[in-house]
């Protein structure tokens, strides 16, 4: 009975650990605004992405900026030129950071009057405002800027999963705490504690392997972002690559824990045998 109870405790502990690891990572890097900005921030310095972003900004600025009719012919070329060089302007880094913050808020905490509900969006209003400032200075006319310029990432299915990701992220720490407690309890009640540690270690190795395979699947899903927009698709690919690299520590930590449990079990078994001889 003790063996069965210990086995059940180990199994439940591993299941909780399997969820806790990705949940903690998601809370720190996706649900957290600061974590998301840190994860996606370097994309703004990527040369290829900058080119695509400038094209997107040019298109949106031309459509969103309210240029006086008499100046529309002149403004068109100035807007395009300002957008193409937007990443060279002094305020670009701050505008990109603000773009990420707005996009995160639009995804995780949209207001009732915001357009981001039901899909993932990249709000490039700060980038458009940067272009408007440059165009206004060049033309001597102050152009009003829109409060919101959302660009759809065409992922309503992913958007529907956001509430679940948020809830799991908030529970990640508790799940990990409970998983550790259950494992300790399993070792305490087990008749053969060394064997319990070894099996727990092997199970943890399986969990880490599932994380490894799952990360590849998750990246494939992120790579599908914005299938009809190359810039958005590139944003998805870059985010996916950075997320996978960031989660590597979790996978490695899982294998380290697995190895430590197996080694502890083997040492315990050797000590036990030494005492009986």
| Domain match, 221 and 173 both | yes
Regarding whether 122 and 91 lie in a shared domain, the answer is yes
The answer as to whether 241 is a domain residue is yes
* Close Cβ partners of 70 (under 8 Å, ≥ 6 residues apart): none
What is residue 22's three-state secondary structure? Answer: helix
Q: How far apart are CA 239 and CA 235, in angstroms?
A: 6
Same domain, 27 and 49: no
Whole-number pLDDT of residue 136 = 82
Residue 216 falls within a domain, yes or no?
yes
Whole-angstrom Cα distance, residue 199 to residue 204?
A: 9
Residues 250, 180, single domain; the answer is yes
27 and 70 fall within a common domain: no
Helical pair 2-26 and 230-276, crossing angle rounded to 10 deg: 150
Q: Average the pLDDT over each of 16-20, 38-42, 152-156 and give the range with the smallest value.
A: 152-156
- The whole-number pLDDT of residue 49 equals 85
Per the structure, the count of domains in the chain is: 2
pLDDT confidence band for 79 (50 / 70 / 90):
confident
Choose the most confident range, by mean pLDDT, from 186-190, 224-228, 269-273. 186-190
Answer positive or negative: Cα dihedral of 199, 205, 209, 215: positive
Instruction: Mark whether 72 and 114 lie in a shared domain.
Output: yes
What backbone torsions phi and psi does residue 116 show, to the nearest 5 degrees? -85, -5
Residue 269 lies in a domain: yes
Domain region containing 87: 43-152
Highest mean pLDDT among 94-98, 145-149, 189-193, 269-273 belongs to: 94-98
> Does residue 210 share a domain with residue 147?
no
Q: Say if 126 falls within a structural domain.
A: yes
Q: Which of 2-6, 127-131, 232-236 has the highest mean pLDDT?
A: 127-131
Given pLDDT bands bounded at 50, 70 and 90, which one contains residue 226? low
- Mean pLDDT (the chain) is 86
Check residue 39 and give its pLDDT. 93
Residue 268 pLDDT greater than 60, yes or no: yes
Rama region for 146: left / alpha / beta (φ>0; ψ in -120 to 50; rest): beta
Residue 113 lies in a domain: yes
Digit-coded pLDDT (tens) for 37-69: 999 999 888 888 888 888 888 888 888 777 776
- 250 domain residue, yes or no: yes
Please give the model's pTM, rounded to 2 decimal places.
Answer: 0.85
Helix axes 47-64, 72-84, angle to 10 degrees: 160
Query: Predicted confidence band at 224 (pLDDT cuts at 50, 70, 90)?
Result: low
Q: Do 253 and 187 reside in the same domain of the chain?
A: yes
Residue 106 structure tokens? 């639009």
Pick the last residue of a domain from 92, 119, 152: 152
What is d(CA 244, CA 221) in angstroms, rounded to the nearest whole number? Answer: 12
Residue 59 lies in a domain: yes
Q: Could you report the per-residue pLDDT of 95-152, keeping only the tens digit for each?
A: 999 999 999 988 887 664 555 556 778 899 999 988 888 888 877 777 788 888 888 8
Q: Directed axis angle between helix 156-189 and helix 2-26, to 10°?
A: 140
In the chain, helix, strand, coil percent, each to 5?
80, 0, 15
Burial readout 91-125 (b: 16 or more C-beta within 10 A, e: otherwise): ebeebbbbbbbbbbebbbebeeebebeebbbbbbb
My answer on whether 136 and 172 are in the same domain is: no
One domain, residues 62 and 127: yes
113 and 27 housed in the same domain: no
Q: Decide if 57 is inside a domain.
A: yes
């Amino acid at each position: 009975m003790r063996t069965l109870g210990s086995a059940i405790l180990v199994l439940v502990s591993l299941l909780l650990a399997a969820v806790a690891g990705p949940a903690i990572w998601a809370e720190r890097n996706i649900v957290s605004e600061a974590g998301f900005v840190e994860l996606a921030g370097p994309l703004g310095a990527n040369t290829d992405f900058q080119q695509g972003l400038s094209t997107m900004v040019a298109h949106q600025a031309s459509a969103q900026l309210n240029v006086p009719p008499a100046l529309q012919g002149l403004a068109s070329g100035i807007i395009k030129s300002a957008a193409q060089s937007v990443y060279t302007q002094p305020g670009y880094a701050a505008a990109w950071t603000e773009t990420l913050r707005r996009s995160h808020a639009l995804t995780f905490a949209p207001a009732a009057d915001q357009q981001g509900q039901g899909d993932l969006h990249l709000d490039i209003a700060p980038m458009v405002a940067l272009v408007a400032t440059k165009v206004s200075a060049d033309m001597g006319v102050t152009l009003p800027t829109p409060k919101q310029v959302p660009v759809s990432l065409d992922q309503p299915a992913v958007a529907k999963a956001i509430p679940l990701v948020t809830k799991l992220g908030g529970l990640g720490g508790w799940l990990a705490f409970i998983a550790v407690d259950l494992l300790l309890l399993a070792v305490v009640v087990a008749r053969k504690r060394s064997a319990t540690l070894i099996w727990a270690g092997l199970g943890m190795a399986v969990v880490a392997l599932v994380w490894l395979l799952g990360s590849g699947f998750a990246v494939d899903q992120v790579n599908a972002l914005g299938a009809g927009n190359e810039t958005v698709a590139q944003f998805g690919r870059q985010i996916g690559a950075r997320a996978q690299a960031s989660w590597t520590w979790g996978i490695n930590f899982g294998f380290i824990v697995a190895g430590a449990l197996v080694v502890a079990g083997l040492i315990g078994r050797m000590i036990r045998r030494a005492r009986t001889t």
